[in-house]
């Protein structure tokens, strides 16, 4: 029975860890592209900023869903 608990803990750790890594990579790419686009066309900066914040929420939502599933696996299964 203890091996099942250990596997569950490893799965939860991987789920949260990969979610955090993916979010960090996504935010890094998005921020870099945003700065690049603002440097090329400064007049579009306000429009691009709104779109960047919408994407930031979507990127973060995916990680939060992963954390929610991990907590469900940890405490309910």
Residues in the chain: 77
Other beta carbons within 10 Å of 33:
13
Predicted confidence at residue 77, as pLDDT, reads 81
Q: What is the mean pLDDT of residues 62-71?
A: 92
List active site positions.
Answer: 60
DSSP calls for the chain: -HHHHHHHHHHHHHHHHHHHHHHHHHHHHHHHHHHHHHHH-GGGHHHHHHHHHHHHHHHHHHHHHHHHHHHHHHHH-
pLDDT of 18 = 93
pLDDT in tens, 9-49: 999 999 999 999 999 999 999 999 999 999 999 999 999 99
For residue 57, pLDDT beyond 80: yes
Residue 9's CB is within 10 A of a number of other CB atoms, namely: 12
């Amino acid at each position: 029975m203890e091996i099942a608990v250990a596997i569950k803990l490893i799965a939860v750790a991987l789920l949260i860890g990969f979610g955090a890594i993916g979010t960090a990579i996504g935010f890094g790419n998005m921020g870099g592209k945003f700065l690049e686009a603002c440097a090329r066309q400064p007049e579009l900066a306000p429009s691009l900023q709104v779109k960047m914040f919408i994407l930031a929420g979507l990127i973060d939502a995916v990680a939060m869903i992963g954390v929610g599933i991990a907590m469900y696996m940890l405490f309910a299964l």
